Structure 1
């Protein structure tokens, strides 16, 4: 269903889907451009994916039903919801120990500039608990859409652009003992630059 929906909404280009292991646990890390990033990744990944995502995005009145359907894992800061981060990490750990693929936006929030923000330490916490292969990924083409922050707050206006070119590129898996935040951020930036060439960095 998700795959069909995103193909209706966008002209999609996927690369490197074979880098997702056919079996066993893995963590996918990607840049965060818009509210529909998780749906594009879910549609482009050859295996079902659990998503760790910002709770306000998860609770979007337009998309919450989809996020619940695909098993997204909402996370909120402990300042706003004490204990929520621990509960979210526990759910991620359970998913990985079942052999699932879990997707994370290490920036922790949508970009407000179109560029990649510094990766946060949540990635380190996950890999410390569950050292699994990490697949870097990058998305291009959704910056400027009504679900991004380019022209003000996302979802605050009606969509004006349909069938945009959207690229999602997966890189080669990185062994958990090598998967530092700095290395993974660098790989995601490299993949985004390649994806931008196809979309024109829209």
Structure 2
């Protein structure tokens, strides 16, 4: 089991794709992943997970990697700066069985979608800095800036650094992504009905 604390900021990328790629190159970030992720989000029957922004998700990557993720509810203190995330790596052959067990525990499938992701990474002062560029067909392009912390003390130390990271990447000029992908995609799907 991997447990970590993510400090992240997310934005709608819009037409700024080339500008961001130039910034990534200027700052010597390296492409470490180019993948297709199939995400399925689950919630309880009363949609409390959706209301509280609790995350229970399976993610299949390139058909050869599967993980189950849990992130606790979001509140004012975790809204922008991150919260603990628990990831369990599973055998990709167990994808359908994993979804079955989640359903049997009383959770329902809320939304599923494919996301095309490029991850750029760099180690700065002992911390992992990541830039994720995501494309979701019919929905849009997004960028997430992330710093990974291992303890609450590190999280507090890195809050200001996340703001500096956003500024260095010129993302402060972009529209902030105010909802998780789960909700953005679900709203988009519902609007097409």
Q: What TM-score does the superposition give when structure 2 sets the normalisation length?
A: 0.28
Q: TM-score, normalised by structure 1?
A: 0.27
Higher strand share: 2
Q: Which has the larger Rg?
A: 2
